[in-house]
Amino acid sequence: MKSMTAYASARKSSNSQSVQIILRSLNYRYLDVAIHNLPIENILMEEAIKKEIKKRISRGKIEVFVLAAKPRVKKVSIDADVVAGYISQIKSLAGKYNLEPRINLTEVLNLPQAVVWEEKEKTGAPLVMPALKEAIDKLMEFKRKEGEAIRKEIMANLGKLKNNMEEIKRQKPNAANMENGKEDIDEEISLAMFYIGKMDAAVNSKKGKPIGKTFDFLTQEILRELNAASSKTKKKTPAFLIVEAKNYLERIKEQAQNIE
Protein backbone atom coordinates (compact mmCIF):
# COMPACT_ATOMS: atom_id res chain seq x y z
CA MET A 1 0.00 0.00 0.00
CA LYS A 2 1.32 3.43 -0.94
CA SER A 3 0.30 6.88 0.21
CA MET A 4 -0.57 9.53 -2.35
CA THR A 5 1.00 12.37 -0.36
CA ALA A 6 4.80 12.36 -0.49
CA TYR A 7 7.84 14.55 -1.12
CA ALA A 8 11.34 13.88 -2.44
CA SER A 9 14.28 15.61 -4.12
CA ALA A 10 17.53 14.64 -5.84
CA ARG A 11 20.49 16.58 -7.19
CA LYS A 12 22.98 15.69 -9.92
CA SER A 13 26.12 17.67 -10.77
CA SER A 14 28.74 17.53 -13.51
CA ASN A 15 31.59 20.01 -13.86
CA SER A 16 30.01 23.45 -13.44
CA GLN A 17 26.45 22.23 -14.10
CA SER A 18 23.91 21.23 -11.46
CA VAL A 19 20.29 20.07 -11.61
CA GLN A 20 17.91 19.49 -8.71
CA ILE A 21 14.57 17.70 -9.15
CA ILE A 22 11.89 18.19 -6.51
CA LEU A 23 8.80 15.96 -6.56
CA ARG A 24 5.61 16.60 -4.62
CA SER A 25 2.72 14.15 -4.66
CA LEU A 26 -0.78 15.17 -3.57
CA ASN A 27 -4.19 13.53 -3.33
CA TYR A 28 -6.03 13.29 -6.63
CA ARG A 29 -8.49 10.80 -8.05
CA TYR A 30 -6.49 10.26 -11.25
CA LEU A 31 -2.86 10.71 -12.30
CA ASP A 32 -1.99 14.29 -13.18
CA VAL A 33 1.62 15.36 -13.77
CA ALA A 34 2.57 19.05 -13.79
CA ILE A 35 6.13 20.14 -14.67
CA HIS A 36 7.50 23.51 -13.54
CA ASN A 37 10.62 25.50 -14.53
CA LEU A 38 11.64 23.28 -17.42
CA PRO A 39 13.82 25.47 -19.72
CA ILE A 40 12.12 26.27 -23.01
CA GLU A 41 14.98 24.71 -24.97
CA ASN A 42 14.28 21.41 -23.16
CA ILE A 43 10.52 21.44 -23.68
CA LEU A 44 10.67 18.17 -25.66
CA MET A 45 11.88 16.50 -22.45
CA GLU A 46 8.47 17.08 -20.84
CA GLU A 47 6.91 13.95 -22.35
CA ALA A 48 9.92 11.84 -21.32
CA ILE A 49 9.54 13.06 -17.73
CA LYS A 50 5.81 12.25 -17.70
CA LYS A 51 6.45 8.80 -19.19
CA GLU A 52 9.03 8.00 -16.51
CA ILE A 53 6.62 8.99 -13.74
CA LYS A 54 3.74 6.98 -15.23
CA LYS A 55 5.91 3.85 -15.07
CA ARG A 56 5.95 4.04 -11.28
CA ILE A 57 2.87 5.99 -10.17
CA SER A 58 -0.77 5.37 -11.08
CA ARG A 59 -2.72 7.92 -9.03
CA GLY A 60 -2.27 11.40 -7.54
CA LYS A 61 -1.27 14.91 -8.57
CA ILE A 62 2.49 14.91 -9.15
CA GLU A 63 4.33 18.24 -9.30
CA VAL A 64 7.83 18.23 -10.78
CA PHE A 65 10.13 21.20 -10.13
CA VAL A 66 13.29 21.41 -12.27
CA LEU A 67 15.92 23.67 -10.68
CA ALA A 68 18.96 23.98 -12.92
CA ALA A 69 22.06 26.10 -12.32
CA LYS A 70 22.88 27.82 -15.60
CA PRO A 71 26.54 28.87 -15.84
CA ARG A 72 27.11 31.28 -18.70
CA VAL A 73 29.78 30.50 -21.26
CA LYS A 74 31.17 33.69 -22.86
CA LYS A 75 32.39 33.73 -26.44
CA VAL A 76 34.16 36.74 -27.97
CA SER A 77 34.39 37.18 -31.73
CA ILE A 78 35.29 39.97 -34.19
CA ASP A 79 32.80 40.73 -36.93
CA ALA A 80 35.17 40.94 -39.91
CA ASP A 81 32.51 42.37 -42.19
CA VAL A 82 31.78 45.24 -39.82
CA VAL A 83 35.50 45.99 -39.36
CA ALA A 84 36.07 45.90 -43.13
CA GLY A 85 33.18 48.33 -43.57
CA TYR A 86 34.70 50.77 -41.07
CA ILE A 87 38.14 50.61 -42.75
CA SER A 88 36.64 51.05 -46.22
CA GLN A 89 34.71 54.14 -45.14
CA ILE A 90 37.78 55.63 -43.40
CA LYS A 91 39.84 55.25 -46.58
CA SER A 92 37.00 56.66 -48.70
CA LEU A 93 36.68 59.74 -46.49
CA ALA A 94 40.48 60.21 -46.44
CA GLY A 95 40.58 60.12 -50.24
CA LYS A 96 37.63 62.49 -50.57
CA TYR A 97 39.25 65.14 -48.39
CA ASN A 98 42.84 64.43 -49.49
CA LEU A 99 43.89 63.21 -46.06
CA GLU A 100 46.31 60.48 -45.10
CA PRO A 101 44.35 57.61 -43.58
CA ARG A 102 45.78 56.61 -40.23
CA ILE A 103 43.99 53.48 -39.21
CA ASN A 104 44.46 52.21 -35.69
CA LEU A 105 43.08 48.70 -35.39
CA THR A 106 42.48 49.02 -31.65
CA GLU A 107 40.37 52.10 -32.19
CA VAL A 108 38.43 50.37 -34.97
CA LEU A 109 37.68 47.43 -32.70
CA ASN A 110 36.21 49.82 -30.14
CA LEU A 111 33.63 50.98 -32.65
CA PRO A 112 30.04 49.69 -32.26
CA GLN A 113 29.41 46.04 -33.26
CA ALA A 114 33.02 45.41 -34.26
CA VAL A 115 33.40 42.96 -31.38
CA VAL A 116 30.59 40.55 -30.52
CA TRP A 117 30.17 39.17 -27.01
CA GLU A 118 28.02 36.04 -26.92
CA GLU A 119 26.68 34.47 -23.74
CA LYS A 120 25.36 30.94 -23.92
CA GLU A 121 23.63 29.16 -21.08
CA LYS A 122 24.25 25.51 -20.32
CA THR A 123 21.00 23.97 -19.16
CA GLY A 124 22.28 20.70 -17.70
CA ALA A 125 19.78 18.71 -19.78
CA PRO A 126 21.79 15.44 -19.57
CA LEU A 127 21.44 15.56 -15.78
CA VAL A 128 17.66 15.93 -15.67
CA MET A 129 16.63 12.29 -16.25
CA PRO A 130 19.20 10.74 -13.84
CA ALA A 131 18.11 13.22 -11.15
CA LEU A 132 14.45 12.47 -11.90
CA LYS A 133 14.91 8.70 -11.55
CA GLU A 134 16.67 9.12 -8.22
CA ALA A 135 13.94 11.48 -7.00
CA ILE A 136 11.24 8.98 -8.02
CA ASP A 137 13.02 6.21 -6.08
CA LYS A 138 13.03 8.40 -2.97
CA LEU A 139 9.41 9.40 -3.53
CA MET A 140 8.32 5.75 -3.78
CA GLU A 141 10.11 4.93 -0.53
CA PHE A 142 8.34 7.85 1.16
CA LYS A 143 4.99 6.68 -0.26
CA ARG A 144 5.56 3.13 1.02
CA LYS A 145 6.39 4.29 4.56
CA GLU A 146 3.37 6.58 4.74
CA GLY A 147 1.24 3.85 3.15
CA GLU A 148 2.18 1.39 5.89
CA ALA A 149 1.05 3.86 8.56
CA ILE A 150 -2.28 4.30 6.73
CA ARG A 151 -2.65 0.53 6.38
CA LYS A 152 -2.37 0.08 10.14
CA GLU A 153 -5.06 2.71 10.72
CA ILE A 154 -7.36 1.10 8.17
CA MET A 155 -6.81 -2.34 9.68
CA ALA A 156 -7.74 -1.04 13.13
CA ASN A 157 -11.01 0.46 11.89
CA LEU A 158 -11.69 -2.52 9.66
CA GLY A 159 -11.41 -4.81 12.69
CA LYS A 160 -13.90 -2.65 14.58
CA LEU A 161 -16.24 -2.69 11.59
CA LYS A 162 -16.13 -6.49 11.33
CA ASN A 163 -16.85 -6.88 15.05
CA ASN A 164 -19.69 -4.41 14.70
CA MET A 165 -21.21 -6.35 11.79
CA GLU A 166 -21.05 -9.59 13.78
CA GLU A 167 -22.91 -7.86 16.61
CA ILE A 168 -25.56 -6.62 14.16
CA LYS A 169 -26.10 -10.22 13.03
CA ARG A 170 -26.65 -11.26 16.66
CA GLN A 171 -28.96 -8.35 17.47
CA LYS A 172 -31.13 -8.39 14.36
CA PRO A 173 -34.73 -9.63 14.77
CA ASN A 174 -35.49 -13.31 14.38
CA ALA A 175 -37.50 -14.33 11.36
CA ALA A 176 -40.38 -15.41 13.62
CA ASN A 177 -40.66 -11.91 15.09
CA MET A 178 -40.68 -10.05 11.77
CA GLU A 179 -43.71 -8.36 10.34
CA ASN A 180 -44.13 -9.99 6.90
CA GLY A 181 -40.36 -10.14 6.59
CA LYS A 182 -40.10 -6.36 6.27
CA GLU A 183 -37.26 -6.24 8.82
CA ASP A 184 -35.24 -8.99 7.18
CA ILE A 185 -31.74 -7.56 6.69
CA ASP A 186 -29.91 -10.87 6.18
CA GLU A 187 -29.16 -10.11 2.53
CA GLU A 188 -27.86 -6.62 3.27
CA ILE A 189 -25.63 -7.83 6.10
CA SER A 190 -24.33 -10.76 4.04
CA LEU A 191 -23.45 -8.51 1.11
CA ALA A 192 -21.82 -5.95 3.41
CA MET A 193 -19.73 -8.72 5.01
CA PHE A 194 -18.77 -9.97 1.54
CA TYR A 195 -17.48 -6.53 0.55
CA ILE A 196 -15.69 -6.16 3.90
CA GLY A 197 -13.94 -9.46 3.18
CA LYS A 198 -12.82 -8.09 -0.20
CA MET A 199 -11.55 -4.97 1.53
CA ASP A 200 -9.65 -7.05 4.08
CA ALA A 201 -8.02 -9.08 1.30
CA ALA A 202 -7.04 -5.93 -0.61
CA VAL A 203 -5.43 -4.20 2.36
CA ASN A 204 -3.42 -7.33 3.21
CA SER A 205 -2.39 -8.13 -0.36
CA LYS A 206 1.35 -8.56 -0.93
CA LYS A 207 1.12 -7.86 -4.67
CA GLY A 208 1.76 -4.14 -4.23
CA LYS A 209 -0.92 -3.14 -6.72
CA PRO A 210 -2.74 0.20 -6.35
CA ILE A 211 -5.93 -0.32 -4.32
CA GLY A 212 -7.26 3.22 -3.91
CA LYS A 213 -9.94 2.89 -6.59
CA THR A 214 -10.89 -0.56 -5.27
CA PHE A 215 -11.48 0.94 -1.83
CA ASP A 216 -13.56 3.73 -3.34
CA PHE A 217 -15.86 1.12 -4.88
CA LEU A 218 -16.02 -1.15 -1.83
CA THR A 219 -16.82 1.64 0.63
CA GLN A 220 -19.66 2.81 -1.63
CA GLU A 221 -21.13 -0.70 -1.83
CA ILE A 222 -20.87 -1.32 1.92
CA LEU A 223 -22.53 2.03 2.64
CA ARG A 224 -25.31 1.15 0.20
CA GLU A 225 -26.05 -2.10 2.06
CA LEU A 226 -25.89 -0.41 5.48
CA ASN A 227 -28.33 2.27 4.33
CA ALA A 228 -30.68 -0.39 3.03
CA ALA A 229 -30.46 -2.30 6.33
CA SER A 230 -31.01 0.91 8.31
CA SER A 231 -34.22 1.68 6.41
CA LYS A 232 -35.64 -1.73 7.41
CA THR A 233 -34.53 -1.77 11.03
CA LYS A 234 -37.01 -0.65 13.68
CA LYS A 235 -35.35 -1.91 16.87
CA LYS A 236 -33.11 0.50 18.73
CA THR A 237 -30.01 -1.68 19.29
CA PRO A 238 -29.49 -2.90 15.70
CA ALA A 239 -30.23 0.62 14.42
CA PHE A 240 -27.57 2.08 16.73
CA LEU A 241 -25.06 -0.58 15.65
CA ILE A 242 -25.65 0.23 11.99
CA VAL A 243 -25.00 3.93 12.67
CA GLU A 244 -21.79 2.93 14.46
CA ALA A 245 -20.79 0.77 11.48
CA LYS A 246 -21.26 3.77 9.19
CA ASN A 247 -18.93 5.80 11.40
CA TYR A 248 -16.19 3.14 11.16
CA LEU A 249 -16.73 2.96 7.40
CA GLU A 250 -16.45 6.75 7.10
CA ARG A 251 -13.09 6.67 8.89
CA ILE A 252 -11.87 3.97 6.52
CA LYS A 253 -13.09 6.01 3.54
CA GLU A 254 -11.19 9.10 4.74
CA GLN A 255 -8.00 7.09 5.18
CA ALA A 256 -8.43 5.36 1.83
CA GLN A 257 -8.64 8.72 0.04
CA ASN A 258 -4.91 9.07 0.65
CA ILE A 259 -3.83 5.74 -0.83
CA GLU A 260 -2.73 5.18 -4.39
* pLDDT single digits (tens) 191-226: 999 999 999 999 888 877 788 889 989 999 999 999
- CATH 1.20.120 location in the chain: 145-256
In this predicted model, what pLDDT tens digit does every residue of 136-192 receive, in sequence order? 999 999 999 999 999 999 999 999 999 999 999 888 776 655 555 567 888 999 999
Alpha carbon separation from 66 to 20, 96, 124 (Å, rounded):
6, 61, 11
Strands (E), the chain: 6-14, 17-26, 31-36, 60-69, 72-78, 115-121
CATH topology of domain 6-71+122-138: Ribosomal Protein S5; domain 2 (3.30.230)
Sign of CA dihedral 23, 28, 30, 34: negative
Task: Say which residues have a Cβ less than 8 Å from residue 156's Cβ, sequence separation at least 6.
Answer: none
From CA 246, how far away is CA 227, in angstroms rounded?
A: 9
Task: Let me know: does 78 contact 114? Beta carbons within 8 Å.
Answer: yes
- CATH 3.30.230 location in the chain: 6-71+122-138
Least reliable range by pLDDT among 5-9, 171-175, 209-213, 245-249: 171-175
CATH of 145-256, one of 2.60.120, 1.20.120, 1.10.600, 1.10.260: 1.20.120
Q: Exposed (0-12), middle (13-18) or buried (19+): which is 180, by Cβ within 10 Å? A: exposed
